[in-house]
Amino acid sequence: MIHIDSLSKSYGKSLILENISVDIPNNKITGLIGPSGTGKTTLIKCLMGMEKYDSGKIEIQNQTVPDRKILNSIGYMAQSDSLYNDLTGFENINFFSNMYSTKISRESIQNTLKLVQLDDDRDKLVSHYSGGMKRRLSLAIALINQPEYLILDEPTVGIDPVLKLSIWEQLHTLSKTRTLLITTHIMDEAMKCDHLLLMKNKKIAVSGTPSEILEAYHAEDIDHVFLKLEAEENENVRPD
């Protein structure tokens, strides 16, 4: 389990995360959703040890983050692709696989490329890849080490609908043995998650299964939940 306790983070005088406490359950897909600028990517960077938080605590496998010992157990896909355009798809994934302490076989690399439907384009330079192909290659790199934890920041942006469905089927298969945290702006994808964390105003405003959240707010979809949260906030700040 990923355990977050009283986490706060600021950039200068700007508060980005405020006193966040939440547990991310094992062997489930947890969706982290919310408006742009609400702190989702900053929270993920804190989880990865890429950003130093001001106060609070993050624990993964009972180890306090940041801790280099647990990095090999985490697969991370950033919001923007960090790929080498002058290498082929296969060379990119082979390069990143060599960073792990455990040797990853050529067969495993090929199977991972097949999973994201890039096996036929493995020898093409990444500079010739489309945006969607680059996202799929980034996902393959996150998966190559078969990590226990997958943290994916908007993994399906720019991917066509048919492949998107295939990737979500695979994510659900992976969640039987792995813990996944996924950010998305797509509300249909949020409904595919086992558990949701709704971020608003630097905090986790609501958490629970999609059905629990919809029932609690008498809403037909997650967009309406956010509208009701906004209405509640405006009501609370209205002067007497």
- Burial tier of 234 (Cβ tally within 10 Å: 0-12, 13-18, 19+): exposed
pLDDT of residue 8: 96
Q: Give the distance from CA 116 to its chain's centroid.
A: 17
Q: 34 burial class (0-12, 13-18, 19+ CB within 10 angstroms)?
A: buried
In the chain, the amino acid numbered 140 is: A
Sequence letter at residue 97: S
Q: How far is CA 213 from CA 155, 195, 232, in A?
A: 23, 10, 15
What are the pLDDT tens digits along the chain (240 aa)? 899 999 999 999 999 999 999 999 999 999 999 888 888 989 999 998 889 999 999 999 888 988 888 877 898 988 888 899 999 999 999 998 888 766 788 888 888 898 888 999 999 999 999 888 898 899 899 988 888 999 998 888 777 888 788 888 888 988 998 999 999 888 889 999 999 999 998 999 999 999 999 999 999 999 999 999 888 877 765 544
| Single-letter amino acid, residue 30 | T
Spelled out in words, what is the top-level CATH class assigned to the domain 82-177? alpha beta
**CA 102 to centroid of chain Cα atoms:** 24
- Secondary structure (DSSP) of 152-201: EESTTTT--HHHHHHHHHHHHHHTTTSEEEEE-S-HHHHTTSSEEEEEET
User: Helix, strand, coil % (nearest 5) of the chain?
Assistant: 40, 25, 35
Residue 239 is predicted with a pLDDT of 46
Q: What is the pTM of this model?
A: 0.87
Q: Would you list the domain boundaries of the chain?
A: 1-13+32-66+196-240, 82-177
